[in-house]
C-alpha cells in the first residue's frame, strides 16, 4: 500500500500538478493495478531474504513458503474483488510466490559466499559390503 500511495502522491504533486480530479482518479486506478502486484512481489522477495538470513539449507523451499504464506494471507481478497480485478489478483499471487522463490535463490547464493561457510554437499552413500 505504501508503494501505491507514494506513486499516486508523486504523480499528483511532482509529475503532473494542476490536473483535474477526474484525471487523477484515472491515473490512481491504473497505478493501483500496476504498482500493487509488483510491490507485492518485491515484498515477498524481501521477506524471503529476511526469513533465510540465518539458514544453512532449504533456502529455496523457505522462500517459496514465504510467498505461499503471503498468498494465503491475502487470498480472501480474491473472493470480494470486482470481476475485472480478479486477473490482477492472480498475477499478484504468482508474483508473490515468484518473489519468494527468487529471494530464496539469492539468499542461498549470499550464504555460499559467506566466509567460514562450507557449501552443503550430498550425504555419502553407504557402501555395500
Break the chain into its structural domains and give their ranges: 40-114
Q: What is the DSSP string of 3-67?
A: HHHHHHHHIIIIISTT--HHHHHHHHHHHHHHHHHHHHHHHHHHHHHHHTTT-SS-HHHHHHHHH
- Predicted TM-score (pTM) of this structure: 0.79
Per-residue pLDDT tens digits of the chain, which is 129 residues long: 888 899 998 988 989 998 998 999 989 888 888 899 999 999 999 999 999 999 999 999 999 999 999 999 999 998 998 898 899 999 999 999 999 999 999 999 999 888 765 555 555 656 655
Amino acid at each position: 500500500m505504501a508503494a501505491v500511495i507514494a506513486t499516486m502522491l508523486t504523480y499528483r504533486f511532482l509529475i503532473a500538478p494542476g490536473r483535474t480530479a477526474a484525471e487523477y482518479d484515472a491515473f490512481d486506478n491504473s497505478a493501483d493495478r500496476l504498482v500493487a502486484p509488483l510491490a507485492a512481489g518485491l515484498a515477498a522477495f524481501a521477506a524471503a531474504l529476511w526469513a533465510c538470513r540465518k539458514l544453512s539449507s532449504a533456502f529455496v523451499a523457505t522462500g517459496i513458503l514465504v510467498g505461499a504464506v503471503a498468498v494465503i494471507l491475502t487470498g480472501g481478497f480474491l473472493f470480494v474483488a470486482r470481476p475485472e480485478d480478479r486477473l490482477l489478483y492472480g498475477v499478484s499471487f504468482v508474483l508473490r510466490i515468484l518473489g519468494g522463490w527468487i529471494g530464496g535463490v539469492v539468499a542461498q547464493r549470499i550464504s555460499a559466499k559467506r566466509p567460514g561457510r562450507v557449501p552443503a554437499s550430498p550425504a555419502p552413500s553407504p557402501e555395500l559390503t
